[in-house]
Each structure stands twice: as structure tokens, then as C-alpha cells.
Amino acid sequence: MTKAKAMIRLVDVAKTFGAQTVLDGLNLDIPDNQITVLLGRSGSGKSVTLKHIIGLIRPDRGQVLIDGEDVTRLDGPDLNRVRSTFGVLFQDGALFDSLNVYENIAFPLVEHTKFSRAEIRQRVEQALAAVGLEKVEEKMPAELSGGMRKRVGLARAIIRNPKVILYDEPTSGLDPLMTDNVNNLIVDTQRKFQLTNFIISHDVQAALRIADKIAVLYNGKILLEGGPDAIRTSDHPFIRAFIEGKQGEFAVN
């Protein structure tokens, strides 16, 4: 079996805030056209890793390569060019409360393209259909359930046809049924658009079900990476505790 090309590579990435070392020589390949999940307990550095990929944080040491280009060396227009290949679904959907659903999804097109109103409307309708929503364009975010907010957020994330979707704890705060719905949506979106998906999460059961590749972050490094079976069969104490929901027994440096 041919190894998938790495769309994103983090090479020896280190980051310290004050006296706290968050990332300590992290190495991770995120394959193209697959679902990769970075697992770790709260405070382990998952969000810091995501911010390095987006270019919101620069490492103290190391490289962050997006399709072969080191974003740690980019600024201004060049960094924005790379960011334009991403769609991001934030933990709470990050919708603008003062805009309705249509305006929220259309926002990236209005701000960053010269599409006509008709083209924008067509793309918004297509994005809503892709996430299984209809006739919600006029609703305000406050009128939506948590699961619907996630779907609207995902519609906005895919509206510019990105190469990569980044998910920040996509099932956080959802009940089990809605968690399953969002996980199914992630898989369906991957199959439909053949995107590179990178998810940060502490939901090990969801990761085992939907991921092509899982990496476990512990003490600033990748402790183990591989397919779901590699995680299930690991005998490392932290990974066993994580699977059994007992990771609180382990300190985060």
C-alpha cells in the first residue's frame, strides 16, 4: 500500500510560554485526503498545535510545512495565500451573532472574492445542502441548536473549496446522538470532497471510529501515531488510560 502524501508536516516543533514547555520537538505528518485526529487531554497542547498550522503562532524551533511550504517563514499576503487553502470549524461554530445563517456562510465569499450576488447565493445553497441543512438561511445563530451551529460552521468552512479542513473539538458540548451526527457529517464531507481533515479532540471513541490516522499528544511530543488498531492495541499506560477514560491520572507538564 502506497503511503499517502503529507499535506501538512510539523518538524521538530517546540513552543514554550514562560516557564511552561507546551510542545517539545513535536513531529507529525498529516496525510493528504485522509482524516487525521490529534488526541490529547485538556491542556496538552492540541490547540497550540492547531494555531501553529494556521500560522497564528510561530514556533520557537522547527518547521510547519503546508504542501511543502514552510509557513513559519511567511508573512502578510503569502501567509494569507496559504490560509486561503484552509477551512476551519471552531469549537462553538464561531458564528457572527449579528448575521443570519446565509450572511454567516456568505461572509468569506463577500470578503475575499468578486463573485456576483447570484454566484454567492448558489454557493451558499450548495454548501448548506452538503451539510444537510435546508430553509435555515434566515435564522439567527441564537435560534439554532448546537448541532445546527456546527453544520452552519462547516458549511462556511467549505464555502471556498479548501484543500484542508481543520476541526477544533468538533463534538465538544454535544449529546451522544448529536456527536454521532457530527462525526457522520465529517466522514460524509471527507468522502464527498476528498479533503485533508485534521481534527484536534479528546474524544477517543469518536477518533477510533472515524479516523484514518490517530496521533496521541503527551508531554509535548507525539507518543504514538498510526491507524485506529495501533491505538486500540497499544500497551502504553497513558494510552490505555485514555481509552478507558482515566487520563486524569496522568499529569500534563
pLDDT of residue 252: 46
> How confident is the model at residue 3, as a pLDDT?
64
Cβ contact 51:64 at 8 Å: no
Q: What digits encode the pLDDT tens for the residues 195-249?
A: 999 999 988 999 999 999 999 999 999 999 999 999 999 999 999 988 887 655 5
Are the CB atoms for 149 and 95 separated by under 8 Å? yes
The answer to whether the Cα torsion of 41, 222, 83, 87 is positive or negative is negative
- On average, the pLDDT of the chain sits at 90
The answer, yes or no, to whether residue 253 has pLDDT greater than 80, is no
For residue 93, name the pLDDT band (cuts at 50, 70, 90).
low
Residue 6: pLDDT above 60? yes
Residues 212, 177, 199, 26, CA torsion sign: negative
What percentage of the chain has pLDDT greater than the value 70?
94
Reported as a single tens digit per residue, the pLDDT across 149-180 is 888 999 999 999 899 999 999 888 788 888 88
Of residues 91 and 140, which shows the higher confidence score?
140
Dist CA 75 CA 78 (whole Å): 6
pLDDT value of residue 90: 82
Residue, of 241 and 38, whose pLDDT is higher: 38
Residue type, 95: L
* Domains of the chain by residue range: 6-85+163-249, 97-161
pLDDT of residue 165: 95
pTM as predicted = 0.90
User: Which three-class secondary structure string do you get for 27-80?
Assistant: EEEEECCCEEEEECCCCCCHHHHHHHHHCCCCCCEEEEEECCEEHHHCCHHHHH
Third-level CATH fold of 6-85+163-249: Rossmann fold (3.40.50)
Q: What is the pLDDT of residue 32?
A: 94
Over range 26-30, report the average pLDDT: 97
**What secondary structure does DSSP assign to 94-154, as a single string?**
---TTS-HHHHHHHHHHHH----HHHHHHHHHHHHHHTT--S-TT--GGGS-HHHHHHHHH
Backbone angles phi, psi at 27, to 5 degrees: -125, 125
CB atoms within 10 A of CB 142: 8
Residue bearing the bigger pLDDT, 152 or 92: 152
- Output the DSSP codes for 188-232: HHHHHH--EEEEEES-HHHHHHH-SEEEEEETTEEEEEE-HHHHH
The predicted-structure confidence for 39-81, as pLDDT tens digits, reads as follows 998 889 999 999 999 999 999 999 999 999 999 999 889 999 9
